[in-house]
């Protein structure tokens, strides 16, 4: 087991180096000069431009810039944003906000998705099943910004139940509405996955055996059916958690959440190399860790997939 | 039946909105109750792109904050006129050497004394090349300024604690009008010890100050409270400002509707269709000091000499400004009738030759045919724009207007980002006409004309050059009084109307919204609300 984890971490190192290099290259190759854009519609003074370029190492060849940046990372220095703030401070500020939002969304979608999916699967073809399938179809086919705008208007402006945008510090109660919006699409997916999986498992021999042994459905449903139906759901949840953690640009923009997606989007628009690359680097790390955890978690759910040496 | 009634309601709402627009530009109906002097006004903003150092701040996100926490020698009132703030008197005999006396006994919000050195040292810092301040070019008219090497502003001399003199390299009648711009703000002595720390938590002398050293919450908001040390013409009628940074203007608009926001300084495009019915008399719609135009460099084929002049005039008359501003912009733009802005002192819509800015399909076709007689038209006419700025709508409409009128192929040429578009324009690699916008730094006709059209001027991206125009600008700058200067500038504009180095399209309006119970919202000449005048409650 330890050997397996160790191997996975070793594998992560080239992935990490490769992705940062690629991202750095892409930001570098982005057309347009970010320093010129800082001056707006005015034509900048070339000497000031040269000065600023030197300050952000933009006057160096690409490969030199990359190694300056990489060297900085190992000293814990991720560079400065154009407003003079260390990128580490930006990371430390935005990731907790996005993490809170992601965990909240994950809780919503897991709870409601599995619950509704289980009931639907057990009552296949009944009214509840048909209507929840219809609702999930609607949620899947609606673009997220439509759901976000409608939710914001109905609950924020019209009914006044929630704040239209997230206030400073991103308190938990302000994050509920954006988290529900974020959870809506995944809820539909999880609900459908669970339903299909439950239907499949219910027809298997061991379930029949369990019932014929005289076990009550109160025992069979959670232990025999649900547990064995959860593998595809867990895979989905894990990937989804990764997606949620790296920020939901559209939803964060609509609700003005000061999180990763929103900040990254603005950094891309401004061509702030250090900010963009650092954010993406941390995202890559999160993906790697989440993936390792998922692989380990399978073993807990299904003893048939255990990692022996 | 229901549909009809709905229609009537919509028309009524639109009419009410229109009345609000024309009748109540300030949105400032008489306060129903006594306003609360301690109320904090919340407004929208954007994360400053640079540290909060006045000479480093050239964009609106930071500008809004810097202008609130600093006071310059002068400030601009609602009409755009310069009024003495820190200055007691600004005098000159020859428009070249100015003597500036400041009010005695003033201090910064932390108690540091404000003297002539606060100004002189700040300007020296801002102008010094190696400090790489984005606003350094504002000092280019002061003796000693250099863009090639570090060179002190020799034109600045401290006479005593409340007096200093400024020697310019050439006469400039409008120099005092410039002094309200951020680059000319003073800095306390403590700033120079650690400018990076100062930019994060600046100490100013303006109507507001930061609410504690950690008031700037990056990407979230900044809280400002009244600065008790300020005693000038901008004394706040409220208790402070809370500026929330929005990455998305739509979110700010939703907050205004839900009454989480007191003042919104621009209605997002997505709400153009509904804002009048959403807000009713809470809409503020005023002209702003922003001109939008299409620049056609003379180096493009077919656009130089006599042929070029004819084609420029034809294109200008082929664009139906009236219709585009009404349909694409829902009245949030006003068709242009000159190269400046109606909010300025000296603006006129009756310049000789201004008819070239009116839609006239027949005249346009005639002019185009005359140009074709000189050299037949080839290729297509393209207008370059950045796709990240919401310009596609009007560029397509203007291109279609040209296409339908002149029967030539015309289209927009988008580049993905603003940075990319500006780079191509700045290094002159762009091979088409391009969108250009000009927002004045200080309220003066000169500031619209000189930077964009004077020979080799900083923002003359079309490389226009006309000695007659240059000499009229120089003459205006040397005039003793503003009216005489403005009349020279208007004559200079009439030359531009002949040559059309850029085709003026429309003036942007500032279209904002006001929350319930919020009063006294008036936008300044720079499209930013005069925050100190706003009351709530």
A156-202, pLDDT tens digit by residue? 888 888 888 887 777 888 888 999 999 998 899 999 999 999 898 88
**Which range, of A23-37, A206-220, B32-46, B114-128, averages the lowest pLDDT?**
A23-37
Write out residues 113-132 of B within 8 Å (CB-CB) of A.
129-130, 132
- Residue in A47, A52, A254 closest to B250 by CB: A254
- Can you tell me the distance from the alpha carbon of B501 to that of A142, in angstroms, rounded to the nearest whole number? 48
Write out residues 225-284 of A within 8 Å (CB-CB) of B.
252-256, 258, 262-263, 265-266, 269-271
- Predicted TM-score (pTM) of the model is 0.78
pLDDT at B18 (0 to 100): 37
Q: Are the CB atoms for A197 and A232 separated by under 8 Å?
A: yes
As a whole number of Å, the end-to-end CA separation of chain A is: 7
Residue of B nearest to A162 (CA): B258
Write out residues 472-501 of B within 8 Å (CB-CB) of A.
none
- Can you tell me the distance from the alpha carbon of A43 to that of B460, in angstroms, rounded to the nearest whole number? 8
pLDDT in tens, B428-464: 888 999 998 888 888 889 989 988 999 988 788 888 9
pLDDT at A304 (0 to 100): 66
pLDDT at A42 (0 to 100): 66
Cβ atoms within 10 Å of B68's Cβ, excluding its own: 25
Q: Is A45 on the interface with B (CB under 8 A)?
A: yes
Q: Are the CB atoms for B40 and B240 separated by under 8 Å?
A: yes
- Residue in A34, A165, A266 closest to B251 by CB: A165
Cβ atoms within 10 Å of B513's Cβ, excluding its own: 27
- Residue in B134, B200, B438 closest to A39 by CB: B134
Minimal CA–CA distance to B369: which of B304, B307, B317, B417?
B307
How many angstroms separate the Cα of B408 from the Cα of each of B198, B315, B369, B375, B394? 56, 11, 12, 15, 18
In A, which residues are within 8 Å of B451 by CB distance?
42
Give the mean model confidence (pLDDT) for residues B105-125: 94
Q: Are the CB atoms for B238 and B536 separated by under 8 Å?
A: yes
Q: What is the DSSP string of A152-214?
A: IIIIIIIS-SS-SSPPTT--HHHHHHHHHHHHHHHHHHHHHHHHHHHHHHHTSHHHHHHHHTT
- Can you tell me the distance from the alpha carbon of B445 to that of A89, in angstroms, rounded to the nearest whole number? 44
If DSSP codes are grouped into helix, strand and coil, which group holds residue B343?
A: coil
Per-residue tokens: A169: 């510090």
- Residue in B129, B246, B460 closest to A47 by CB: B129
Give the mean model confidence (pLDDT) for residues B60-69: 92
| Angle subtended by helix axes B305-318 and B392-406, to nearest 10 | 110
Give the mean model confidence (pLDDT) for residues B10-37: 45
In A, which residues are within 8 Å of B199 by CB distance?
84
Q: With 50 as the cut, is the pLDDT of residue B53 above it?
A: yes
Q: Do B419 and A90 touch (CB under 8 A)?
A: no
Write out residues 55-74 of B within 8 Å (CB-CB) of A.
58-59
- Can you tell me the distance from the alpha carbon of A307 to that of A299, in angstroms, rounded to the nearest whole number? 7
Q: With 90 as the cut, is the pLDDT of residue B37 above it?
A: no
- Can you tell me the distance from the alpha carbon of B186 to that of B123, in angstroms, rounded to the nearest whole number? 8
Which neighbouring-strand residues pair with A1? none
Domains of chain A, start order: 93-258 (1.10.3720.10)
Give the mean model confidence (pLDDT) for residues B59-67: 90
SS (H, E, C) B68-89: HHCCCCEEECCCCCEEECCEEE
Q: Which run of H or E residues covers position A51?
A: helix A46-55
What does the mean pLDDT of chain B come to? 87
The sheet with strand B156-160 has its strands ordered as B87-92, B97-102, B163-167, B156-160
Pick the residue of A34, A41, A52, A97 with the most B CBs within 10 A to test the interface with B by mutation.
A41
Q: Do A94 and B219 touch (CB under 8 A)?
A: yes
pLDDT in tens, B369-384: 999 999 999 889 999 9
10-residue averages of pLDDT along chain A (309 residues):
78 82 79 72 73 78 82 78 80 88 92 92 90 91 88 87 82 88 90 91 85 84 82 83 78 88 82 79 81 75 60
In A, which residues are within 8 Å of B459 by CB distance?
41-43
Judge residue A47's burial from the number of C-beta atoms within 10 Å of its C-beta, 0-12 exposed, 13-18 middle, 19 or more buried. Answer: middle
Residue of B nearest to A34 (CA): B419
Q: With 60 as the cut, is the pLDDT of residue B32 above it?
A: no
> What share of chain B has pLDDT > 70, as a percent?
94
Q: Do B258 and A156 touch (CB under 8 A)?
A: yes
- Can you tell me the distance from the alpha carbon of B239 to that of B236, in angstroms, rounded to the nearest whole number? 7
CA dihedral angle for residue B496, residue B499, residue B502, residue B505, rounded to 10 degrees: 70
Q: With 80 as the cut, is the pLDDT of residue B275 above it?
A: yes
Rg (CA), chain A: 24
Q: Are the CB atoms for B156 and B82 separated by under 8 Å?
A: no
If DSSP codes are grouped into helix, strand and coil, which group holds residue B369?
A: helix
- Can you tell me the distance from the alpha carbon of A113 to that of A180, in angstroms, rounded to the nearest whole number? 12
Q: Kindly report the nearest CA distance between residue A120 and chain B, in angstroms.
A: 37
Which alpha helices (DSSP H) does B413-481 contain, by range?
418-426, 445-453, 467-478
How many angstroms separate the Cα of B416 from the Cα of each of A70, A253, A277, B390? 29, 20, 20, 11
pLDDT higher for A271 or B145?
A: B145
pLDDT at B5 (0 to 100): 34
* Max mean pLDDT range (A220-234, B156-170, B239-253, B269-283): B156-170
- Can you tell me the distance from the alpha carbon of B44 to that of B513, in angstroms, rounded to the nearest whole number? 11
What lies within 8 Å, CB to CB, of B11 at 6+ separation is none
> What is the DSSP secondary structure assignment for residue B234, as one 8-state letter?
T
- Can you tell me the distance from the alpha carbon of B70 to that of B91, in angstroms, rounded to the nearest whole number? 23
Residue of A nearest to B223 (CA): A168
- Can you tell me the distance from the alpha carbon of B248 to that of B254, in angstroms, rounded to the nearest whole number? 10
Q: Kindly report the nearest CA distance between residue B368 and chain A, in angstroms.
A: 30
Pairing of strands B381-386, B410-415: parallel
pLDDT at B182 (0 to 100): 92
SS (H, E, C) B12-35: HHHHHHHHHHHHCCCCCCCCCCCC
Q: Which CATH class is domain B7-262+515-536?
A: alpha beta
CA dihedral angle for residue B360, residue B366, residue B372, residue B377, rounded to 10 degrees: 30
Q: Is B212 on the interface with A (CB under 8 A)?
A: no
> What is the DSSP secondary structure assignment for residue A45, as one 8-state letter?
P
- Can you tell me the distance from the alpha carbon of B50 to that of B46, in angstroms, rounded to the nearest whole number? 11
- Can you tell me the distance from the alpha carbon of A265 to that of A248, in angstroms, rounded to the nearest whole number? 10
- Can you tell me the distance from the alpha carbon of B307 to that of B295, in angstroms, rounded to the nearest whole number? 16
* Ramachandran area for residue B490 (φ above 0: left; ψ -120 to 50: alpha; else beta): alpha
Judge residue B437's burial from the number of C-beta atoms within 10 Å of its C-beta, 0-12 exposed, 13-18 middle, 19 or more buried. Answer: middle
If DSSP codes are grouped into helix, strand and coil, which group holds residue B319?
A: coil
What are phi and psi for residue B280, nearest 5 degrees?
A: 60, -125
Q: What is the DSSP string of A12-36?
A: HHHHHHHHHHHHHHHHHHSSS-HHH
Residue of A nearest to B388 (CA): A269
Judge residue A159's burial from the number of C-beta atoms within 10 Å of its C-beta, 0-12 exposed, 13-18 middle, 19 or more buried. Answer: exposed
Which alpha helices (DSSP H) does A123-143 contain, by range?
127-141
If DSSP codes are grouped into helix, strand and coil, which group holds residue B121?
A: helix
pLDDT in tens, B244-271: 998 888 889 999 999 899 999 988 888 8
If DSSP codes are grouped into helix, strand and coil, which group holds residue B534?
A: coil
Provide the CB-side half-sphere exposure for B171 (13 A, CA): 16
All structural domains of chain B with their residue ranges: 7-262+515-536, 289-508
The model's confidence at residue B102, banded by pLDDT at 50, 70 and 90, is very high
- Topology classification of domain B289-508: Dipeptide-binding Protein; domain 3 (3.10.105)
Q: Is B257 on the interface with A (CB under 8 A)?
A: yes
Query: Can you list the pairs that A294-303 forms with residues at least 24 positions away whose Cβ atoms lie under 8 Å?
Result: A294/A234, A294/A235, A294/A238, A294/A239, A295/A8, A296/A5, A297/A234, A297/A238, A298/A231, A298/A234, A301/A227, A301/A230, A301/A231, A301/A234, A302/A228, A302/A231
What are phi and psi for residue A57, nearest 5 degrees?
A: 60, 20
Q: Are the CB atoms for A288 and A17 separated by under 8 Å?
A: no
- Can you tell me the distance from the alpha carbon of A188 to that of B381, in angstroms, rounded to the nearest whole number? 50
* Ramachandran area for residue B263 (φ above 0: left; ψ -120 to 50: alpha; else beta): beta
pLDDT at A48 (0 to 100): 77
Per-residue tokens: B440: 């004045």
What is the complex's ipTM, to 2 decimals? 0.75
Pairing of strands B97-102, B381-386: unpaired
In A, which residues are within 8 Å of B147 by CB distance?
45-48
- Can you tell me the distance from the alpha carbon of B390 to that of B385, in angstroms, rounded to the nearest whole number? 9
Cα dihedral B198, B199, B205, B211 sign: negative
Which neighbouring-strand residues pair with B75? B83
Q: Is B420 on the interface with A (CB under 8 A)?
A: yes
The residue assigned the tokens 């531009």 is B496
Q: Do B416 and A31 touch (CB under 8 A)?
A: yes
């Amino acid at each position: 087991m330890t050997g397996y984890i160790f191997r996975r971490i070793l594998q992560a190192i080239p992935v990490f180096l490769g992705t940062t290099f690629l991202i750095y290259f892409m930001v570098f190759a982005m057309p347009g000069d970010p320093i010129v854009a800082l001056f707006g519609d005015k034509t900048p003074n070339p000497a000031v431009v040269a000065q600023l370029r030197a300050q952000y190492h933009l006057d160096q060849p690409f490969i030199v810039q990359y190694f300056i940046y990489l060297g900085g990372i190992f000293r814990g220095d991720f560079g400065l944003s154009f407003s003079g703030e260390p990128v580490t401070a930006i990371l430390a500020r935005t990731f907790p906000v996005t993490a809170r939002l992601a965990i909240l969304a994950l809780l919503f979608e897991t709870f409601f998705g599995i619950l509704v999916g289980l009931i639907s699967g057990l009552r296949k073809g009944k009214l509840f099943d048909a209507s929840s399938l219809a609702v999930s179809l609607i949620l899947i086919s609606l673009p997220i910004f439509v759901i976000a705008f409608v939710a914001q208007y109905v609950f924020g402006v019209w009914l006044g139940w929630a704040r239209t945008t997230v206030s400073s510090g991103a308190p938990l109660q302000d994050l509920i509405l954006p988290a529900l919006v974020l959870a809506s699409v995944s809820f539909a997916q999880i609900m459908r996955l669970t339903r299909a999986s439950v239907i499949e498992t219910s027809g298997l021999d061991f379930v029949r055996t369990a019932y014929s042994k005289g076990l009550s459905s109160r025992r069979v449903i959670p232990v025999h059916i649900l547990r064995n139906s959860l593998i595809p759901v867990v895979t989905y949840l894990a990937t989804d958690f990764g997606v949620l953690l790296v920020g939901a640009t559209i939803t964060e923009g609509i609700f003005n959440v000061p999180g990763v997606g929103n900040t990254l989007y603005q950094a891309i628009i401004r061509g702030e190399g250090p900010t963009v690359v650092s954010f993406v680097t941390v995202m890559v790390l999160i993906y790697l860790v989440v993936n390792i955890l998922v692989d380990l978690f399978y073993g807990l759910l299904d003893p048939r997939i255990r990692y022996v040496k | 039946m229901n549909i009809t009634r709905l229609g009537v309601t919509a028309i009524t709402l639109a009419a009410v909105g229109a009345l609000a627009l024309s009748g109540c530009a300030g949105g400032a109906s008489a306060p129903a109750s006594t306003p609360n002097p301690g109320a904090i006004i919340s407004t929208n903003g954007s994360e400053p792109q640079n540290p909060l150092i006045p000479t480093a701040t050239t964009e609106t996100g930071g500008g809004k904050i810097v202008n609130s926490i600093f006071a310059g020698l002068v400030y601009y009132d609602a009409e755009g006129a310069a009024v003495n703030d820190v200055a007691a008197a600004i005098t000159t005999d020859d428009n070249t050497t100015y003597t500036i006396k400041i009010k005695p006994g003033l201090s910064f919000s932390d108690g540091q004394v404000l003297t002539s050195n606060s100004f002189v040292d700040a300007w020296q810092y801002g102008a010094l090349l190696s400090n790489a301040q984005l606003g350094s070019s504002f000092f280019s008219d002061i003796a000693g300024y250099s863009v090639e090497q570090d060179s002190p502003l020799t034109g600045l001399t401290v006479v005593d604690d409340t007096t200093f003199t400024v020697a310019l390299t050439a006469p400039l009648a409008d120099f005092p009008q410039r002094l309200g711009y951020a680059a000319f703000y003073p800095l306390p002595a403590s700033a120079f010890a650690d400018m990076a720390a100062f930019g994060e938590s600046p100490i100013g002398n303006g109507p507001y100050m930061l609410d504690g050293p950690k008031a700037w919450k990056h990407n979230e908001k900044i809280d400002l409270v009244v600065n008790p040390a300020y005693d000038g013409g901008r004394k706040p009628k409220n208790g402070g400002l809370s500026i929330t940074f929005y990455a998305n203007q739509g979110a700010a608009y939703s907050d205004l509707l839900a009454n989480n926001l007191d003042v919104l300084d621009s209605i997002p495009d997505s709400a153009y269709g509904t804002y009048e019915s959403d807000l009713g008399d809470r809409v503020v719609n005023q002209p702003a000091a922003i001109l939008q135009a299409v620049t056609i460099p003379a180096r493009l084929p077919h656009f130089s000499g006599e042929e070029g002049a004819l084609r420029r005039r034809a294109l200008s008359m082929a664009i139906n400004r009236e219709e585009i501003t009404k349909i694409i912009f829902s009245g949030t733009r006003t068709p242009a009738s000159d190269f400046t802005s109606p909010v300025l002192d000296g603006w006129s819509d009756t310049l000789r030759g201004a008819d070239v800015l009116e839609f006239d399909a027949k005249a346009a076709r005639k002019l185009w045919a005359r140009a074709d007689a000189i050299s037949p038209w080839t290729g297509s006419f393209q207008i370059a724009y950045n796709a990240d700025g919401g310009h596609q709508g009007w560029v397509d409409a203007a291109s279609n207007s040209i296409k339908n009128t002149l029967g030539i192929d015309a289209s927009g040429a988008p580049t993905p980002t603003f940075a990319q578009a500006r780079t191509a324009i700045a290094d002159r690699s762009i091979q088409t006409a391009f969108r250009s916008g000009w927002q004045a730094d200080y309220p003066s006709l000169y500031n619209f004309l000189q930077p964009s059209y004077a020979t080799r001027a900083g923002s003359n991206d079309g490389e226009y050059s006309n000695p007659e125009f240059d000499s009229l600008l120089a003459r205006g700058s040397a005039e003793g009084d503003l009216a005489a200067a403005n009349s020279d500038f208007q004559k200079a504009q009439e030359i531009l109307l002949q040559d059309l180095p850029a085709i003026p399209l429309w003036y942007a309006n500032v279209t904002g919204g006001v929350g319930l119970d919020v009063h006294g919202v008036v936008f300044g000449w720079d499209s930013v609300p005069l925050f100190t005048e706003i009351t709530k409650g």
